[in-house]
Amino acid sequence: MSQTLILGSINRLPTVHFSGAGANASITVNAAGETCVFAGNIILENPLGGSKTISAAGGGSITWIAGAVTFSNAGSTFKVGIQDVSAASSPTQGDATFDVEASFTGGGGGVTASAVNTSVMTTGTKTIAHGDLVAIVLSLTARGGTDSIVIRAMAPASISLANNGFPTVSENTSGVYAKTASAVPLAVINFDDGTLGWFHGAPFFNYNSTPTSLAFNSGTATADEYGNYINYPFTYNAIGIAFLGQISGTSADAELLLYSDPLGTPVVQRTITLDATQASATASAINSVHLFSTPIQLKANTPYAITMRPTTVNNVTLYHRDVGSVSQGEASEIGTYCYACRRLDNTGAFSDYNGGTAKTRLMSVSLVGTYMEQGVNICSGQVGVF
């Protein structure tokens, strides 16, 4: 008898979406009743810790991001809150009843342009269990004058999301609801007790929508190797490394590396050599996947690093994006399971690379592979083939 391990689909770690082209989706509400809806199943910080409540009495809030804002007319009312997802209407939308909401009047403040907004609830209460399907609804319920509010969503250009399911974004900005193409939600629930709830696959990147490019080479003075420190609570079969970046020219050779013990004594576990003459394009952003000659099983709760290292004085470019704060990073994988790291001259331990803010940055390099089935090496993770 032989045994075959049935693996899941190929995925990336970190799993958060990353765009090199760099633009957030913008939903503009500028007429009475126009609405933006973020919908999906909510993840709680402690999925086994019971349901959580967001209420006006308890000071709960919703964090979201605004673009351009004109909100000066007292005849305008803007609401941010939570509704149940309608079972009677399509595409995905709220049921038109706010269970809990923050309500703002034009000219009275509460909505800040081009910034992260934390809207404290003013009416109602909502209790949410892990996995509940809910809609975070942002609506200009009444409009005076020329008031207009732009709501930001994530638009990860490097991954096709034109037909994604949950989490999803929809909008009523033309009299009827329509799915917002290639967008995922950009909002976090702050419950009364301070814990968070968020949509899986929707990291809370800050409002600077364009990722920052970072060009470096083997002679860079501050650091010449960049990537991500990772430490996940599960076993993972790594088969390669992917990056979103640029190769400056046909002489800009580099390496993609996987290290163990990156913060102590780094040990190279796998190396992929990038010959720049074989790149599909130079001097422009490419989303490229490269496989190890031999896959490697990564242990759970064990630190590793995945990096790019130029081997010449010709530039390569990676991108990085930041979450707004450490707590907002917790509403994704950033800081919790991975964060940007770097080192100089291929020697010594790696350190975090976060522009002075601890563990809030993500580089555009990731592992490629599959999650290991539970109980690998025992029957619960294997299927016998006779």
Mean pLDDT is highest, among 205-209, 244-248, 278-282, 354-358, for 244-248
Q: Check whether 157 has a pLDDT greater than 70.
A: no
The ranges assigned to domains in the chain are: 25-199, 212-371
Confidence of residue 6 (pLDDT cuts 50, 70, 90): very low
CA distance 279 to 250: 8
CA distance 205 to 322: 6
pLDDT tens per residue, range 343-354: 999 899 999 998
pLDDT tens per residue, range 118-149: 999 999 999 999 999 999 999 999 999 999 99
How does the average pLDDT of the chain come out, rounded?
A: 87
What is the mean predicted confidence (pLDDT) over 204-210? 65
- Find residue 140's DSSP bridge partners: 34, 78
CA distance 184 to 133: 15
Q: How many CB atoms lie within 10 A of CB 268?
A: 12
CATH of domain 212-371: 2.60.120
pLDDT tens per residue, range 20-60: 545 568 899 999 999 999 999 998 887 888 999 999 999 99
CB 65 within 8 A of CB 186: yes
CA distances from 33 to 78, 118, 139, 173 (A): 10, 22, 7, 8
Confidence of residue 338 (pLDDT cuts 50, 70, 90): very high
Confidence of residue 358 (pLDDT cuts 50, 70, 90): confident
Q: Identify the pLDDT of residue 181.
A: 79
Q: Check whether 186 has a pLDDT greater than 70.
A: yes
